[in-house]
Amino acid sequence: MALTGATGFLGLRLLVELLRRHRSVTVLARGEPDRVRERVTRALGVIAADVTDLPARVEVVPARITEQDLSLSGSAYRELADSLDVIWHCAGDTTLDGDLAHLRRVNVEGTRHILGLAAAGRRLPAVFHVSTAFVAGARRAGVVYEDELTDAYGFEGSYERSKYEAERLVHTWAGATGRPVAVFRPSVLTTASPPHPDLPEHPLLNIQRTLSDLRHEYLGPGRTPEAVLRDTSRFRVAGRPDGQLNLMPVEEAAAVMARLAEVPPGDGVETYHVVHGRDTPVDVLRQLLERLGGARVEIVPELTDPTPLESALSFLSGVFCYLRQRRRYDDSRVRARLGPPGVAAPMGVEYLLAGLRPRTEAAPR
């Protein structure tokens, strides 16, 4: 069994679930194997104390998904391909507004090379491809179904487009080879585990740093937060006050994917929306922005005549555009395979903040 992206925010949790179910996992990663293994071992020591004997259970193969044959020699590539009965592809670049050419190289060509590895193996390994619910693109309302895959609505950013193209590639490969593939589409992933130097960074930490840096820059020498708040009566963000966004604990997402992988595969491509049972109101995210930014936040349908600070935040439009959504994700196939979930606890502000504060400051879950 091989896993790409094992050092990432989701990939690390997937590795935990796979090691709970299997004796060993081969990690395909860039870098010197001993250092990658040490990094993974330290991280799992923080979040999965029950997973033991790690050095003997994690094999690391130095591989680059952006390179032909994963940048392995011919013999090493054939030996790897013939040893695998399962391949999990979780690696990718998640930069929302990144350069499209670079995102295609990682997310699309990387997927092509992993599918090539799956085709080269004598064991015909099962393939599990981790995508994103945001291949639904710029569609902001209605219901998105698991079997839908269209570019008719356009995309909010280049990341969504690259993941859509990767999914299209998976469908083409499955049709050409007659091989089944399971595609997992998680929604926005978060955690209540506090930041730790040995763990992959929480995606929301970048927003927190940006807000903090801009606020300090805008304060300037001799200006106090009170003076800034007097000058800017409100900090506005364009969005839907009645909007909603699906947030999913990364640990639960990984567990759902691992359970689905144990279901006998069907024919062709089977897609699963790995989503929370309750959508999170945009107002919860508004409150989170207030707590992170230290200023009052208002969600407005359109942002006209922006203040200097609001203009300075315009480059975060690739994140704030999701505050305009009110769509929902159908997960009928997941429920059919695993049964209906229990009553899901709502994703509140304190939960979200817990994953952004150092352990000594962590809020209760």
Scored b (16 or more CB within 10 A) or e, 7-35 reads bbbbbbbbbbbbbeeeeebbbbbeeeeee
> Domain for residue 333, yes or no?
yes
> Domain for residue 11, yes or no?
yes
Q: Which residue has the tokens 């999170």?
A: 280
Q: Calculate the alpha carbon distances from 78 to 51, 64, 122 in Å.
A: 30, 15, 9
What is the model's pLDDT at position 9? 96
The answer to whether residues 90 and 134 belong to one domain is yes
Give the CATH number, domain containing residue 92: 3.40.50.720
What is the model's pLDDT at position 53? 82
The answer to whether residues 128 and 169 belong to one domain is yes
> Domain for residue 265, yes or no?
yes
The answer to whether residues 145 and 214 belong to one domain is no
**What is the average pLDDT across 123-129?**
97
Phi, psi at 21, each rounded to 5°: -110, -20
Q: Calculate the alpha carbon distances from 45 to 24, 25, 50, 53, 65 in Å.
A: 17, 16, 9, 11, 27
The answer to whether residues 117 and 215 belong to one domain is no
Residue 106 has pLDDT above 50, yes or no: yes
Cβ atoms of 146 and 330 within 8 Å: the answer is: yes
Task: In whole angstroms, give the CA distance from residue 54 to residue 194.
Answer: 23
- Other beta carbons within 10 Å of 282: 22
What is the model's pLDDT at position 241? 93
Task: In whole angstroms, give the CA distance from residue 241 to residue 207.
Answer: 20
The answer to whether residues 175 and 226 belong to one domain is no
The answer to whether residues 334 and 270 belong to one domain is yes
Amino acid residing at 328: R
Cβ atoms of 238 and 285 within 8 Å: the answer is: no
**What is the average pLDDT across 82-97?**
95
The answer to whether residues 216 and 145 belong to one domain is no
DSSP state of 267: S
Range of 289's domain? 205-242+281-324+356-361
Domain count, the chain: 2
Across 143-262, the runs of DSSP E, i.e. the strands, are: 143-144, 181-186, 188-190, 235-238, 244-245, 247-249
Q: Express each pLDDT in 256-313 by its tens digit.
A: 999 999 999 889 999 999 999 999 999 999 999 888 877 788 999 998 888 877 777 7
User: Counting every residue, how long is the chain?
Assistant: 365
> Domain for residue 126, yes or no?
yes
Q: How far is CA 363 from the centre of its chain?
A: 23
> Domain for residue 218, yes or no?
yes
> Domain for residue 138, yes or no?
yes
Task: In whole angstroms, give the CA distance from residue 185 to residue 144.
Answer: 11
Q: Which of 270, 200, 196, 282 is nearest to 245 (CA)?
A: 282
**What is the average pLDDT across 115-143?**
96
Q: Which of 44, 180, 163, 3 is nearest to 94 (CA)?
A: 163
The answer to whether residues 144 and 288 belong to one domain is no
The answer to whether residues 136 and 228 belong to one domain is no
What is the model's pLDDT at position 219? 55
Comparison of pLDDT for 145 and 311, the residue scoring more:
145
What is the model's pLDDT at position 232? 52
The answer to whether residues 318 and 264 belong to one domain is no
What is the model's pLDDT at position 42? 93
Q: Express each pLDDT in 47-59 by its tens digit.
A: 998 888 877 899 9
What is the model's pLDDT at position 362? 43
Q: How far is CA 121 from the centre of its chain?
A: 28
Q: Helices 74-83 and 109-120, interaxial angle, to 10°?
A: 70
> Domain for residue 200, yes or no?
no
CA angle 276, 351, 329 (to 5 degrees): 15
The answer to whether residues 235 and 143 belong to one domain is no
Mean pLDDT, the chain, as a whole number? Answer: 89
Task: State percent of the chain over pLDDT 70.
Answer: 90
Residue 253 has pLDDT above 60, yes or no: yes
**What is the average pLDDT across 115-120?**
98
What is the model's pLDDT at position 361? 45
The answer to whether residues 22 and 147 belong to one domain is yes
Q: Express each pLDDT in 154-186 by its tens digit.
A: 999 999 999 999 999 999 999 999 999 999 999
> Domain for residue 181, yes or no?
yes
In the structure, what pLDDT confidence band is assigned to residue 38 with cuts at 50, 70 and 90?
very high
What is the model's pLDDT at position 162? 98
Task: State percent of the chain over pLDDT 90.
Answer: 70
What is the model's pLDDT at position 262? 96
Q: Express each pLDDT in 191-245 by its tens digit.
A: 999 999 999 988 877 777 776 666 666 555 555 555 555 455 568 889 999 999 9
This prediction has a pTM of 0.92
